[in-house]
A and B are shown apart, each in its own frame.
Chain A
Amino acid sequence: MTPRRAIALLLACGLLLCTHTAWADRIGDITSTDWREQAWRFVTLADPAVRFALAGSILLGLNCGLLGGFIVVRRMALFGDMLSHAVLPGVALGFLWNMSKDPVAIFVGATLAGLAGAALVGLLRRTTRLKEDTVLGLVLALFFAGGICMVTRIQSLPQGNKSGIDKFLFGQAAALGPGDVQLMAAVTVLALALVCLFYKELLVASFDGAFAASLRLPVAALHFGLLLLLSFAVVVALQAVGVVLVSAMLITPAAAAYLLTDRLHRLLQGAMVMGVLAGVGGAFISFLGTNLPTGPFMVLTASAIFAIVFLFGERRGVLMRWWRRRAQAARVRRENTLKAVFHILESRGLGHVRSVALHELAAHRQGTMATARSEARVLAGHGLATLPAGAESLDLTHEGWQRACEIVRNHRLWEWYLTHQMAIAPDHVHADAENIEHLLGEDAVRQIERALPPSPVDPHGRPIPALGAGRGERTP
């Protein structure tokens, strides 16, 4: 066992202990309605209901994030949805066991119902022509309808303490009791421990089933174990999130983490963090008002987290990528202007003068004066050129000149490379070089330079400028 696994296990056991010390009487419905007071209560953990709600949301976030990671990478989202709906009849059965909200009975009943649903899916898959998505949707709908029938039947029964069963539909974290939280902790610890122990096996089986089978890993057993843990996770999350929205707590935090990393263990850690954030956030918001369901708020918090990652994620965020693309497009435009200036100067014989009239630039680029003027202003804004007042011209600065030489050099080096090393016809290389000149890295340039003859010319007969081609002298 690696140290990391040991730490994870210790942490998990610590969590389990914490719930014992948090023991206190469960209070009933909260009477206060002022949201500021409620917020203060939540932050200060003043009463046990808050502590249980908080502990429950944290455990739920951990558990759902951990197993949701596997759902997202194994493309089992509909399966998770099926499982979360299919546990409803089990909840009702567990409730009927002794006509009360006994956490253990409900846990057992719901797990059995979830497994029965999964088994029915497998059976239908094997014995009918129906496609997987149809079968999953069918089982989801059937089990849920059966559950609805049982729940409405229970509510119409004359005897028994029926309060609380409707809480399983949309969730109520404030209704969590010490027994619920202990059960949640036990299940979370079990899931963490099992995933830590069999991490490598799960990793291989999740990404390459054939390879896993060739390693003689028990793929079917792993799948079944994961399924069992998954139904545990669904059942544990039930009371706080509700049957209908559990699948969101499995999918959304894990999908958000999936956007941020390529490594499975990072993905699982990130998903757990985001699950906890979503759980606590949802519990907090629903605590502010009276009788607000917790589940939808948790899901909305999770969706908000996903949206933030989707837009602002460091590497793959949509806005970030858009910004990077824009910046790159602007750089390419600047470099094209510099290149045009270089070409004009080159046609004059590369004298001392680094000044080009704007009408020359416009003519060379076949654009308008207005475009040339704005391009010149952009260059000036980046310190690559200066615009003498009154004169319709631009002077390249030293840096601008260096950069222009570099771009043209990249272009011609690449053309030289394609014609001489790759044996491509000289009239086919310009378009390719137009693109590569902005991207050619230091290493590639060095590599081409090593093969370069003493005074290189490009395929069109023009000399390849050296970096920072000296003042006035022709390039070698």
Chain B
Amino acid sequence: MTGLVPPLEWQRVFVEPWAANSTSSAWIVLMGFFATATCGLVGNYLILRRMVLVGDAISHSVLAGIAGAFLLSGSRGSAWMFVGSLAAGIITALLIEAIHRHTRVKQDSAIGIAFTSLFALGVVLISLYGGRVDLDQECVLYGEIANVPVTVEPLPESLSRLAAHVPLLQAEFLWRGVDLVMPPDVLRMALLLMATGALIGVFYKELLVSSFDASLAVSLGIPAAVVHYGIMGILSLVAVSAFEAVGAILVIAMLILPGATAQLLSQRLPVILGLTLLHAALSAVTGLHLGTWLDCSIAGAMVVAGGGWFALAWVFNPREGLLRRVLRSAPRHDAAQPAGGIGSKEHSR
């Protein structure tokens, strides 16, 4: 048991990551932030729409898509991975639909059957042919966020040519810093975060209405199926991008934790989205230090740190935190105040 928890040395845990190998730490934190923020933004809508189990399913089943894409293409090209994961996401959705529609198996069991099959298939493919494609079971479980910065390369030719045509990327202030030094994984995650943010910005109203009041959305002419499958598609892309950093299973943590924390603290969607980004940033930084301190998987540590922030929000939330509840209910013995508090109508459908 001894030596399990190393002493908390200020120098080693808090100073060294930023003094000795600052670039590496910065990339790790940035990657963690981008991944958590992207997942968290999408996750907010999963939580509101009660699709958390679907998120769980997709984040597991992209593994089969990734493994399949590796085997077919023989490379770790991100285009192949995107195609594979999208295919896996679609197959998952179709399987769930087929089982749910044609049998009396309930939705939750149908989801459970579909994604575990695909995940098992992915693990089998990796354990059979994993040697060929530089992918192993550990990577599946906890990702390799600490290894991401090692692969700093110049931008691929095609990507910089593409960037020349995208007005946003031509902006000097953004591109100058990114051009040659950003590791491709981090860059991809950053682009995905921007894309997700842009999509949410553009379709803000549609997402809001269809998440809170499905029948109003239908009456306004918002196509529910398109919104649903759009979210599933984005989810597959996000899951596959975050996969490399944090592994297939911790993605679910990054999908839920920021959104759940933010939704504890606020009931306004814009505030919630902002708090999601804040939570992502905080858990990325604290996760790095926690992982350095305990000398364990940094991705896991980021999730645990995020859980810590969630616990803080749960206990000390001024409006309806655990502490507030205890203080409020202790002196007076009427438990008249319902759990939701003011404005909980917005969430309960």
What is A's interface to B at a CB cutoff of 8 Å?
71-72, 75-78, 80-81, 85, 96, 124, 126-131, 133-134, 136-138, 140-142, 144-146, 148-150, 152-153, 156-159, 166, 169-170, 244-245, 247-248, 251-252, 254-255, 258-259, 289, 291-293, 295-297, 299-300, 303, 306, 310, 316, 318, 321
Contact = CB atoms under 8 A, between A and B. Distances in A.
Chain A, interface SS category: helix
16 contacts: A80-B112, A138-B257, A142-B303, A144-B250, A157-B4, A159-B3, A169-B141, A244-B141, A245-B116, A245-B119, A247-B112, A251-B113, A255-B109, A259-B105, A291-B127, A297-B120
A310 B111 CA distance: 15
A245 B109 CA distance: 14
A80 B264 CA distance: 25
Contacts of B3: 157-159
Nearest to A306: B113
B53 to A, nearest CB: 5
B256 interface: yes
B103 A144 contact: no
A241 to B, nearest CB: 10
A142 B300 CA distance: 9
B344 A316 contact: no
B60 to A, nearest CB: 8
B300 A255 contact: no
Contacts of A152: 142, 296-297, 300
A156 B253 contact: no
A141 B105 contact: no
Contact of B127 (A166, A292, A316): A292
Interface in B103-130: 103-106, 108-113, 116-117, 119-121, 123-124, 127-128
A126 B339 contact: yes
Contact of B103 (A75, A303, A316): A316
Contact of B102 (A247, A292, A318): A318
A299 B120 contact: yes
Given A81-B112, A148-B141, A157-B3, 5 more contacts: A131-B50, A145-B300, A153-B294, A158-B3, A292-B124
A120 to B, nearest CB: 10
B112 A77 contact: yes
Contacts, number: 211
A152 B303 CA distance: 14
B252 A141 contact: yes
A265 B51 CA distance: 32
Given A144-B250, A145-B307, A293 B127 contact: yes
Interface of B: 1, 3-4, 47, 50-53, 55-56, 99, 102-106, 108-113, 116-117, 119-121, 123-124, 127-128, 137-138, 141-142, 249-250, 252-253, 255-257, 259-260, 263-264, 291, 294-297, 299-301, 303-304, 307, 310, 314, 320, 322, 325, 339-341, 344, 347
A162 B311 CA distance: 32
B52 A148 contact: no
Contacts of B110: 255
A148 to B, nearest CB: 4
B276 to A, nearest CB: 14
A145 B304 contact: yes
A376 B60 CA distance: 55
Contacts of A245: 116, 119-120, 123
Given A137-B252, A244-B249, A129 B340 contact: yes
Nearest to A150: B296
Contact of A149 (B55, B116, B120, B300): B300
A167 B122 CA distance: 17
Contact of B295 (A75, A141, A153, A292): A153
Contact of A303 (B56, B117, B253, B310): B117
Contacts of B252: 137, 140-141
A252 B116 contact: yes
Contact of B111 (A77, A149, A300): A77
Contacts of B113: 248, 251-252, 255, 303, 306
